[in-house]
Amino acid sequence: MGGRLSALDPMEVPVPELHVLLERDQYLKPYEREIRRRYAVFSDSLERIDNELGGLDAFTRGYETFGIHVNHDNSISCKEWAPGAKQLYLTGEFNNWNRHSHPFMKCDFGVWNLDIPACEGSCPIEHLSEIKICVQTRNGDMVDRISPWATYAVKPGPNQGQAYKHLFWNPPHYLKYFPNAPRPRKPNGLRIYECHIGIATNECRVGSYKEFATNVVPRIIKLGYNTVQIMAIMEHAYYASFGYQVTSFFAASSRFGTPDDLKELVDICHQAGLYVLLDIVHSHASKNVLDGLNEFDGTDSCYFHSGPRGVHPLWDSRLFDYSQPEVLRFLLSNLRWYYEEYKFDGFRFDGVTSMLYHNRGTQGFSGDYNEYFGLNVDTDALIYLMLANHVMRITCPNTITIAEDVSGMPALCRPVDEGGIGFDYRLGMAIPDKWIELLKTKRDDEWDMGNIVHTLTNRRWMEKTIAYAESHDQALVGDKTIAFWLMDKEMYSGMSLLFEAGPIIDRGIALHKMIRLLTHSLGGEGYLNFIGNEFGHPEWLDFPRVGNNESYHYARRQWNLVDDTNLRYHQLGDFDSAMNLAESKYNWLQAQPAYISWKHESDKVIVFERAGLLFAFNFHPTKSFPDYRVGINEAGTYRIVLDTDQKQYGGYSRLSGDIDYTTQSEPYAGRKCSFQVKLLQKFYLCNVKYVFLCCYLC
């Protein structure tokens, strides 16, 4: 696609708002030709969809015609794209597995059609009966495949092999779930609860959609999050892949329940006012052949690049050929499917860095703009992402899209009409890396305040960032959560409130709150937390596999710990709730980036203003500051609104919330006025109790 543009001068291609992008970042000016070229290819793709492929709306609703469908008269219509196949057949329980009785008819451009009449007015294929696509390859072999558009695939029973089965999903009307809650408004300040349905139970097994709706959604509401990001929904045969080795893109994972169970879960989230994001995986696909997309038509291409370009060297998975119109139809329709069918509100795109570069982003990025506009950039993938975001804006205007990108691609989160790629947010992936690096390699008295502040604020102007201290990546076995890095030596013995906290627990609980709140308030325009980490979940995450004797012990969440009011986990959970409540009241995520007035290395103090709040952090390992002067621009009287030292959050309540701090006319730290605050610490040998102070103008 886009070959017709080769004769055009990219400088002549009109990009509606490119001047806005270039004025905002003049370092992009030398790359104007390349930005225009990208936009030209994008425009050509849209033009082709409109003029040759039926229009954008129909093109992105491919699920309405492709796959297997029941018509109003109960007849069946089937449609598949298999350009490399010699012949296709539909087989299954409905025809006693006859491989030849129901042949498809070959049409143009590698598309195959099959119509099956109703049987005495009834559907010829029963609900939940097994079906397969039988493919005759070019060399005459007959191989069984699952339709790429399958909407329900299940794990086989004992002694029935390993490959998932495609069951025909066509429940009677009275068994269907019909969502009725309106979609919530798009949040301006995202407070995201990242979660996984299977591990959300306390028991050593796979959790369900229904259990999550009943047991976990109320927790999310209580914690003050306004958005749920659900992982591992697209069907994946290997549970331990965390949902990132997708086998059936249109099938919601059956290990958690039925498609209607998922619809009910999303509807219950909407009833509670939660915005629901789907973790979408369009960067690669499982190499599985019998229950995946791989070799669907008997060739090594079809949906993927042929040869080495079609294989991810690190993930051992297949890579899409985004230049193919039918691949674009498949993936864009996949977005519409989850938006329309299941009512997901938006998408977190996984593996964007891998998509954007021919070397899959395996090298480090220095920030040199040549890295973002050179030959290493995969134009086909970039144009697909532009199309995906454009489709969401045009057809699903309430959506939010988030990019998992570590490279720092400029204009990733600017509108397509500016020459950007169109995402709303990018994940601030350098932030958790920085916290883990500090916890792994340095004592807390060696932490560099300037380096921490730089990491938290080093983001592109007017490109929104989701900040997080840790996500599922840091929770996986082989790494440690922040709580584990801080307290693993005493986490199994020192978390009871019946005994005084020792120095490791005291220090760990204090830093756990400080790290999260500093990240929340300074790191971006959104905040993310992984399920259970808000209360310092005591163990890593490890799915059942051969290496752990198929154990579910570490593939669950121990809610009993946070529910027990005699444990310190409960206090950490309460602080997380208070932190989100404060943000919902003062809206710092929606505000302009913070003004940092003070980052003092020897004092280990960070002070900044955001959304009318003054934030002050004391990270010093040995010093208290009973009268520490802080600068602020707006004169008046201030009062503490959030303090990590409060007893209910595991502190000692040494600061009174009733104290008023009245500004003095003395300028300080580059601000118009100032006042003195108490920044305290508690000695435990060389360990400390840190205090965070957040003040608001009365």
Position 133 confidence tier, pLDDT thresholds 50, 70, 90: very high
Q: Which amino acid makes up residue 69?
A: H
Judged by phi (left if over 0) then psi (alpha if -120 to 50, else beta), residue 220 lies in: alpha
Q: Is the pLDDT of residue 682 over 70?
A: no
Q: Report the C-alpha gap between 632 and 694 in whole angstroms.
A: 13
Query: Domain limits of the chain?
Result: 62-175, 592-697
Q: Which of 264, 378, 404, 534 is catalytic?
A: 404
Single-letter residue type at 32: E
In the residue annotation, 260 being an active-site residue is answered as no
CA angle 344, 350, 356 (to 5 degrees): 130
| Confidence check: pLDDT of 125 > 70 | yes
Q: Checking DSSP bridges between strand 248-252 and strand 464-467, what pairing results, if any? A: unpaired
> What are 505's two structure tokens?
């627990």
Annotated catalytic residue, options 80, 350, 463, 609: 350
Buried b / exposed e along 401-416 (16+ C-beta atoms within 10 A): bbbbbbbbbbbbbbbb
DSSP category for residue 21 = H
pLDDT for res 157: 83
Q: Would the pLDDT of 161 be above 90?
A: no
**What CATH number does the domain located at 592-697 have?**
2.60.40.1180
Q: What is the pLDDT of residues 251-266, one digit of tens each?
A: 999 999 999 999 999 9
Is residue 7 pLDDT above 50, yes or no? no
What is residue 276's predicted lDDT score, i.e. its pLDDT? 98
d(CA 192, CA 583): 13
Which has more pLDDT, 576 or 653?
Answer: 576
Model confidence pLDDT, tens digit, residues 605-649: 999 999 999 999 998 877 888 889 999 999 999 988 899 888 999
423-472 confidence digits (pLDDT tens): 999 999 999 999 999 999 999 889 999 999 999 999 999 999 999 999 99
| Residue 374 confidence (pLDDT) above 80 | yes
> What pLDDT does residue 656 have?
66
CA distance 642 to 160: 57
Band the pLDDT of 480: cuts 50, 70, 90. Answer: confident
Average pLDDT, the chain: 93
| Token output for 78 | 């089937």
The pLDDT, as a whole number, for residue 625 is 87
- Residue 17 a catalytic site member: no
Across the range 271-277, mean pLDDT stands at 98
* CATH topology agreement for domains 62-175 and 592-697: yes
**Residue 693 binned pLDDT confidence (cut-offs 50, 70, 90):** low
The yes-or-no verdict on residue 657 having pLDDT over 70 is: no
pLDDT (0 to 100) of residue 694: 63
Q: Residue with structure tokens 């809650």?
A: 181
Q: Which CATH number fits domain 62-175: 2.60.40.10, 3.80.10.10, 3.30.230.10, 2.60.34.10?
A: 2.60.40.10
In this model, does residue 76 exceed pLDDT 70? yes
Please determine, for residue 10, whether its predicted confidence score (pLDDT) is greater than 90.
no
